[in-house]
Amino acid sequence: MASRQGIDSATITQLTADVSEPFLAVKAEFDTDEIRVWTGVDDLSLNSETYTGAGSLLTVSKIDETNELSSEGVSIGLSYMDATVLDHALTENYQNRPVTIFMGFTTGGTNNIKGYLTVFKGRMINMVINDTPDGATIMLSAENRLIDLATPRGYRYTHQAQDHLYSGDLGLQYIQKIQDKEITWGEETEGYSHSPNGPRTGGTGPQR
């Protein structure tokens, strides 16, 4: 992971240090609001945004990295959270909404961030809520954004599809006509010829 492009020097130092204080932070983007939590206590400021401390109540499954362009999913668990989080889980549209997981390092036993990087970025696909007298436990499943590479697209290279995406665009208005158009090269036809020393005259010549 230390060789991944885009990691700043401070994060690389923490990744290779003998002693470090790592944390995970999760940002779930719902339609009307965002849920931001991290594995520490109190509030954490990351990217000028505030993350609420969930401590051990926040769990994240193993995040696999491969050299291939493959989709690896992840599960995020959040236990015994307050009514605000539960309300989002019950009422908000969450499917295909973005979710991001950060890994970072604090310094000196404080909430000051020494360095961080994005370890997962994808979309929420499924949510299971287990409500008990002690509080609700939420298990969220997410797919890596690389899943889009394997998702069929409903649009085709047609005039109708292009006009739907970009109203008034005529770039594909003749695409249907040329699909069955027969274009013949190199054959001769009666009534047309080309003289190397003069203009075209009647006779035989390349078909146009």
- Does residue 41 lie in a domain region? yes
- Does residue 188 lie in a domain region? no
Count structural domains, the chain.
Answer: 1
- Does residue 31 lie in a domain region? yes
- Does residue 168 lie in a domain region? no
pLDDT in tens, 82-132: 677 777 777 878 888 899 999 999 987 788 888 898 888 889 988 888 877
pTM of the shown model? 0.64
- Does residue 42 lie in a domain region? yes
- Does residue 180 lie in a domain region? no
pLDDT in tens, 44-77: 999 999 999 988 888 898 877 655 555 568 899 9
Domain that holds residue 83: 9-150
Strand order in 43-46's β-sheet? 43-46, 49-53, 34-38, 21-29, 98-106, 113-132, 135-144, 74-81, 58-60
pLDDT in tens, 159-186: 888 888 888 888 888 887 787 777 777 7
- Does residue 162 lie in a domain region? no
- Does residue 14 lie in a domain region? yes
